[in-house]
Copies of this chain bind each other. A is one copy, B any other.
C-alpha cells in the first residue's frame, strides 16, 4: 500500500512539473512574447496540455488508485491512511476520473480552438467586430457542451463545467446565492444613487508610473511577499501564476492618469501570491499545493484588495506615506477625501474597473448568459443584444459598442465557461472569513493603522493557506467560520462600509 502510494506520488509529481512548465510558457506569453511568436507558443502550450492529459490518464495511475481503493464513492480510498494522504488521493482521483472521461482529441481541440479564439478575440475587440469573434465562440460553446456531456452531470451541463473551477459547487446553489445577492445589491445601489456622489477627481491627475511602481513595491513587501520567491512584472491583463512552489509571479499594469489601477491591482495579485506561497511544507510540490478552489483563491485577493486595502485603517497608515511619493497630486486631500475617493460607487461598463458594490452584478450577468447559452435558450448570435439588455436591467448602463460589452473579457475566448462565478464567490467567502478574523483579532484596525499587516497574513496562513486543496472550499468555510456559504457577511460588510462612505441611513 505504501509502495502504491509512493509510486502514485512519483507519477503525479511529474504532472505538477508539467503544469509548472505550462505556467512558465503562459507567463512569458503575457509578459515578454514577441508579436510573431504567438502561433508557436500556442503549439507549445497545446503540447504540454496534451502531455498532461496523456499522463494523468496513464492506465498505471488508474491501477494504483484502484489498488488504494479509490472510487467515486470513496475518492480518498479505503485504506488506513493519514488525513493528508486521503486528501491527496481524493485530489488525484478527482483529476484522474475527470480526465479519463475526456477523449484526448477533445482536450487537444479545446486547447487549439482556445488559442485561435484568443487571437481572434484580440482583433475583434480592437475592431469592435463581434461577428468576427462569433464563429470562434460558437465552436468553443459546442466543445464545452461536449465536454460537459463527457464529464456527465445530473441537473445542468453548467454543473460539469463549474466543477472544474469550483469543485463540488452546483448551479442550483449558485442561483440561490446570486438571487439573494442581487436583491441586496439592487437595494443598496438604489440608496447610494440617491446620496450625493463622492469626488475622486484627485485620483485622475498624472501619477508618474515609476513612483506608482515604487510605492506598490513597498506595500507588496509590507504584505509579506518575499521576492526571492517571486517577481512582479507588467502585462496587459494582471494575473498571478505559480511557476513552482518557490516561484510565484504577479503582474500589474500602470495607468498614469488612474492611480487606482496599479495599487489595488498589486494588492489584489499579492493576495493571490501569498496564498500560493503559503502551502504547508508537507504538501509541497504535490497536487494538494494549490488553492482549494478558484473562489477561495479569489477570496484571498479580494480580501486584501477591498476589505483591507480599501479600509480606513489601511489608509490611516499609508496615506502619509503615499503623500511622500505624490506630494503635489495629493496636496490638500485628507483621509476622508481619500477614503471616499477610492471607494466611489458608480455603475459602469467594465467588470475589472467596477467598484465592490457593482462588481458582482457583472458576474451575475455573465452567469445568466452562460447558463442560457448552455441550455440552448440563447444563441451566440443573440448574445450581444442579451448582454446589453442585461446591463441595462442590472446596472442601468448600455455599452456604446461590443468592445465595452460582450467582447470585454478574455475568458470566453479561452474556452472558460463556468469560471466567472468564482469571482463573486471570492467576495462572499472573503467576507465570511474576514468576519471570523475580526473576531479573533479584535484590535485589527488598530494594528493595521500601525502598519502591522503581518498579523493578517499569519491568520490567513494558519487558517486557510497551509491546507492548500487538502480541504474543499465547503469544508474550509465550515471549519474556519462554523457556517455554510451565505451572502450575509458580505452584505453586512457592504452595509457598514457604504453607510459610512455615502452617509446612508439604515436599511
Q: Determine if A167 is an interface residue (Cβ-Cβ < 8 Å).
A: no
Give the nearest-CB partner of A20 in chain B. Answer: B44
Question: Among the listed B32, B39, B246, which residue makes an inter-chain contact with A231, where contact means beta carbons less than 8 Å apart?
Answer: B32
Contact A246 B47 (CB under 8 A): no
Contact A48 B21 (CB under 8 A): yes
Return the CB mask of A23-46 against B: 1 if under 8 Å, else 0: 011011000111111011101100
Which of A34, A44, A228, A245 has most chain B Cβ within 10 Å? A34
Residues of B within 8 A of A285 (CB): 40
10 more contacts with CB within 8 A, not counting A24-B28, A34-B231, A40-B244, are: A21-B25, A24-B44, A28-B243, A34-B228, A34-B247, A36-B229, A37-B244, A37-B246, A40-B243, A40-B245
Residues of B within 8 A of A37 (CB): 229, 243-244, 246-247
Q: Determine if A62 is an interface residue (Cβ-Cβ < 8 Å).
A: no
How far, in angstroms, from A227 to B32 measured CA to CA in the complex?
11
Closest 6 CB pairs of A and B: A40-B244, A37-B247, A36-B246, A35-B228, A36-B229, A17-B47
Residues from 262 to 292 in A contacting B, C-beta threshold 8 Å = 285
How far, in angstroms, from A492 to B216 measured CA to CA in the complex?
59
How far, in angstroms, from A27 to B34 measured CA to CA in the complex?
14
Shortest A340–chain B CB gap in Å is 38
Give the nearest-CB partner of A17 in chain B. Answer: B47
Return the CB mask of A303-346 against B: 1 if under 8 Å, else 0: 00000000000000000000000000000000000000000000
How far, in angstroms, from A243 to B17 measured CA to CA in the complex?
19
Q: Provide the main secondary structure of the chain A interface.
A: helix
Contact A34 B245 (CB under 8 A): no
Shortest A255–chain B CB gap in Å is 24
Question: Among the listed B33, B41, B229, which residue makes an inter-chain contact with A34, where contact means beta carbons less than 8 Å apart?
Answer: B229
Q: Determine if A18 is an interface residue (Cβ-Cβ < 8 Å).
A: yes
Give the nearest-CB partner of A23 in chain B. Answer: B44
Q: Determine if A151 is an interface residue (Cβ-Cβ < 8 Å).
A: no
How far, in angstroms, from A246 to B227 measured CA to CA in the complex?
31
How far, in angstroms, from A226 to B192 measured CA to CA in the complex?
54
Residues of B within 8 A of A227 (CB): 34
Residues of B within 8 A of A17 (CB): 40, 43-44, 47
Q: Determine if A14 is an interface residue (Cβ-Cβ < 8 Å).
A: yes
Q: Determine if A51 is an interface residue (Cβ-Cβ < 8 Å).
A: yes
Q: Determine if A230 is an interface residue (Cβ-Cβ < 8 Å).
A: yes
Residues of B within 8 A of A43 (CB): 17
Residues of B within 8 A of A34 (CB): 227-231, 246-247
